Amino acid sequence: MAYLARGKKEDLVILAEELGLTVKKEFKVKQLHKLITESSSYDEEFTRELLGSIKEEREKKEEREIEREKQERDREIEREKQERDREIEREREERARAFELQKLELEVRAASAQPVESRHIPDQPAKIRMHDVMPRFNPKEDDVSLFLVLFERQAKIMNVPAENQVAQLISLLPPDIVQLIAREPEEDAKKYEYVKALLLQRFKLSAEKFRQLFNKHQKASESTWYDFYYEIKNYLEGWLNGLNVKTFEQLKDLMLVDQIKKRTSMEFKEHFMDEWTTIISPTEMVKKIEDFEDVRKTIKSKLFATQTERTNKGQFKPRYETFSKKIEHSHYSKHSDKWNDYRHQKDHRQREDAQQRDRFPNKNQDHSFEERYRPRCFECGSYSHFKPQCPRLKSNE
């Protein structure tokens, strides 16, 4: 019965109620002990287990209550912290507004103290002309989209009104482009967005043009290396954007295709001229080259077979036969004697040269290399004169 004595009153009350006993509020622990043990349904083992479960449930409930109270305290602490932070932020904003108001007040006082003509009026056009701070547009080398971006940034810095932007832009364009804009309706020509769309449509550089500029661009003597870097970077980005190259794999394919294109024949380039600049897949390029080579080999073999067949039938004669017939013709017969004399003299000179080398051998000559030919007299073999000046012929005369 000692386990009942160690139990708390609230546990014993619940135990008695679970056993079906009537419990009064004024009962003490001893009275509850007597009530439970003297009941007709009392079973010590069962009562012990039931009391243990009641005690365990009470302890869990107390732990949950403690955890809930702890969470409530944490939430309360967090709310207090957030409230302090908001209060600090409000104070900071109030100080900032007070500072801005004071600064604005000082600016107004300073502006009121300046002469009227020296005050800056935002609605008035800028006194500095755009062509003083930006170079003129070159349609052969400059990218019109980049040029317009630079113009818009500069116009924003100079506070150029929207209705004056077209006038400022025209001052940077060549005369032929200005004439192109002048042909447009007057109302449209005054709108910057309309003129911008017109220039983009007319002078947008293609991806192939960007590629050529990227490969051939040279640094100007008056520019810096930073300028050169940004110029070729712009050309490279224009080339890649024009071909919609977004990933590293697409960039590798483009580099491979560019190397393959440099090694293809001119005949292949002319055949695929329409799609030459848009091919960016190496597998597609290689397949087209292989197909082109196969077709060309087939056509060449058929052409060779046709020519051979026509030659065998006598439709084509070898050139040497035609030449021999011309030699036999009466028109060429008068030259045959001169030709034979020339051949006879040449053979005679070659025999005399061989005899002369045998008669006067050069001891210092390295016979592993052919001796350089030296002109000499064909009558006496001397190197000091030629045959027309030979003394032997003069003595015979």
pLDDT one-digit tens code per residue, 196-222: 888 877 776 677 777 777 888 787 787
Q: Write the Ramachandran bin of 298: left for phi over 0, alpha for psi from -120 to 50, otherwise beta.
A: alpha
Question: Distance between CA atoms of 191 and 189, rounded to whole angstroms?
Answer: 6
pLDDT at 368: 43
Angle at CA of residue 287, ends 284 and 292, nearest 5°: 125
pLDDT-derived band at 337 (thresholds 50, 70, 90) equals low
pLDDT-derived band at 242 (thresholds 50, 70, 90) equals confident
Q: What residue segments make up the domains of the chain, in order of their start?
A: 3-91, 130-204, 209-305
pLDDT at 356: 61
Query: What is the sign, positive or negative, of the torsion defined by CA atoms of 98, 104, 108, 110?
Result: positive
pLDDT at 122: 47
pLDDT of residue 22 exceeding 50, the answer is: yes
Q: Residues with Cβ < 8 Å from 15, sequence gap 6 or more? A: 7, 36, 47, 50, 51, 54
Rounded percentage of the chain residues whose pLDDT exceeds 70: 65
Residue-wise pLDDT tens digits, 23-44 = 767 777 676 766 767 676 676 6
pLDDT at 357: 62
Report the range out of 9-18, 34-43, 181-190, 370-379 with the highest average pLDDT: 181-190
Residue-wise pLDDT tens digits, 267-283 = 776 777 666 667 777 78
